Structure 1
Amino acid sequence: MDKYDGYTELSFIPKNGRTLVDTLKYHGQSRVSARMQLNNEDTLCYFLIAMGGGLTEGEDYYTKISLAEDTRAIISTQAPTYIFKCDNHEITHQINEISVKKDAILEYLPDSLIPYRNARYRQDSEINVEKGGTLIYTDGLTSGWSPDGTEFSYEDIQLKTQIIYDGNLMYADNVILEPNVFKMQDLGFFDNYKNYDSLVVVNEKIDDAFVKELQDKFKQQDKVRVGISKLEGPGFVMRILGDNINFNRKVLMDCVDDIRGKLFGSPKLDLRKDPRFVY
């Protein structure tokens, strides 16, 4: 743990038909909340917390999450992850290592990244899901923040994600954003929008018909642009572009709620966050 500026480790095991925490560790600038008592369900839920409100240049963070067979957990963040300015051009790193065993369900739903002016950030996520396991995974990025209101003023961002299902690579995504090199609002990047979000869901019940139903339900949106694609395996990815982080989040969580209802008969997810931000 000492080699990282922030380290988090969470593992879950089954006992008598319930999910229990087996490991809960944190170190340095990282913290884990007490269990969050949800209004609508009894699923274990924890928030990841960055001390100081965000990540500072040159820091290295490591998050490890593992679910044993027949467990279920919801992991989110207390607030958006702010990437503070990197005046010395040093890169901030975040590594995520996630494991989901057979018949386990992980809902990993962090809030968006908000990079400050001149921020440099690398995120590397490797997720292993055993056959029969379920993953609901979100990611997002805003146009950033600067004192003068200039958009896309960060230096460079890389979000690399690999999902391996049943031993095979199902999903590989490598988002590289360099506003000093490319015009971020051009076609092929943010396409004249300001905020980007994605949702990846892996579950054996997801087939072509399942994805087609989602496409029909979510393709027509007034304030955001949505695309949904089937993966090479039992899963799909949703991409969202919009001008407001809350509009994006609303569509994202509507889809999460729809999936939770279809797959598990679960209620609408209420993470008890400030509705002025989330929606």
Structure 2
Amino acid sequence: MAERQFCTGALKVMRPTVRPDSALPHWTLMNVGGGYVGGDRYAIDLRLGPGSHAVLDGQAATKIFRSEGTHALQRTEIRMGSGSHLVLRPQALIAYRGARYVQETTVTMASDSRLVSREIVTAGWSPDGQHFAFDSVRLRLRANLTSGNPLLIDNLLLEPRMLDPRSPLVLGDHTHLGTLVVISAGRIPQVAAVREICAAASEPDLRFGVGGIAGRTLVVRCLGNSTQSVERGLHAVESFCHSAD
């Protein structure tokens, strides 16, 4: 149950629902403006009380339109109380030609709380069908304990003019990048077990990378050529992590 909810500007939160495939209440974030443009500033403040559980997802793809001047910015602050469980599951990010976007997410967690975060970045959109025509996309996730001790810093930066995302050092011959982060106290599957799940869920165009700190954090990268295939790959890993909880 939400104790307090407040929205202003283009971001709105729809009433929570409980879906047949999940016992967690789903809150859906909606951008009634249709997308982000240069100079936009969005702030999300989310606080989970002790023992609370929630899924925050998106109604539609996150669209970043052309930026004539400065970048668009979304800053999210999350505080998680003892025993809380949060799943962040936004729709795929689509950056249009000339778009500049920065997303900063800071999570402060109790030692026994649990965070699952999923992001998918696409090759974007341009009138001529060119891939990676945007100027820059930066996604930064920082998670700390309430004591101040750091748990994870994940920083993704795509700047096609500086380094072609199709380079073997970045995405290679793939157009989509998915990231799944799981942070929990002693309830993280072993990396070797997750790699087996990735191998079982793999499709011809998917490539996985798995890493983390035993018993505390897990990071999975997934490269693919469609939003749907990357979603399927990450969903298989996420489902396995939930079943191992």
Q: 2:65 aligned with 1:84, yes or no?
A: yes
- Quick check: 157-166 or 23-32, which moved more? 157-166
Taking the TM superposition and a 5 Å limit, the aligned residue runs for 1:86-125 are 86=67, 88-125=68-105
Q: Deviations over 1:69-90 (max 9, x none)?
A: 111111101111000112x132
Identity of aligned residues (%): 24
Q: 2:17 aligned with 1:36, yes or no?
A: yes
Amino acid in structure 1 at the alignment position of 2:5: L
Q: How far apart are the structure 1 equivalents of 2:119 and 2:59?
A: 15
1:52 CA displacement: 2.4
Q: Does the 8 Å contact 2:190/2:215 carry over to 1?
A: no
- Structure 2 counterpart SS, 1:125: strand
Q: How far apart are the structure 1 equivalents of 2:21 and 2:73?
A: 35
Q: Pick the aligned partner of 1:164 from 140, 144, 154.
A: 144
1:190 CA displacement: 1.2
Taking the TM superposition and a 5 Å limit, the aligned residue runs for 1:1-279 are 20-86=1-67, 88-165=68-145, 167-206=148-187, 210-219=190-199, 221-222=202-203, 223-231=205-213, 234-263=216-245
Q: How far apart are the structure 2 equivalents of 1:42 and 1:137?
A: 18
Q: How far apart are the structure 2 equivalents of 1:251 and 1:40?
A: 18
CA RMSD of aligned residues (A): 1.6
- Unaligned segments of structure 1, at least 5 residues: 1-19, 264-279
Amino acid in structure 2 at the alignment position of 1:210: Q
**Taking structure 2 as the reference length, what is the TM-score of the superposition?**
0.93
Q: How far apart are the structure 2 equivalents of 1:180 and 1:89?
A: 17
Q: How far apart are the structure 2 equivalents of 1:143 and 1:51?
A: 23
1:40 CA displacement: 3.0
1:159 CA displacement: 1.1
Q: Deviations over 1:218-263 (max 9, x none)?
A: 1352221011102376111000111111100111112112222221
Q: How far apart are the structure 1 equivalents of 2:29 and 2:241?
A: 23
- Structure 1 counterpart SS, 2:233: helix
1:134 CA displacement: 0.5
- Structure 2 counterpart SS, 1:23: coil
Q: How far apart are the structure 2 equivalents of 1:113 and 1:231?
A: 27
Report how many aligned residue pairs link the two structures: 242
Q: Deviations over 1:89-111 (max 9, x none)?
A: 32100001111121110111111
- Unaligned segments of structure 2, at least 5 residues: none
**Taking structure 1 as the reference length, what is the TM-score of the superposition?**
0.82
Q: Deviations over 1:28-62 (max 9, x none)?
A: 01111112231234422110001122112210001
- Structure 1 counterpart SS, 2:7: strand
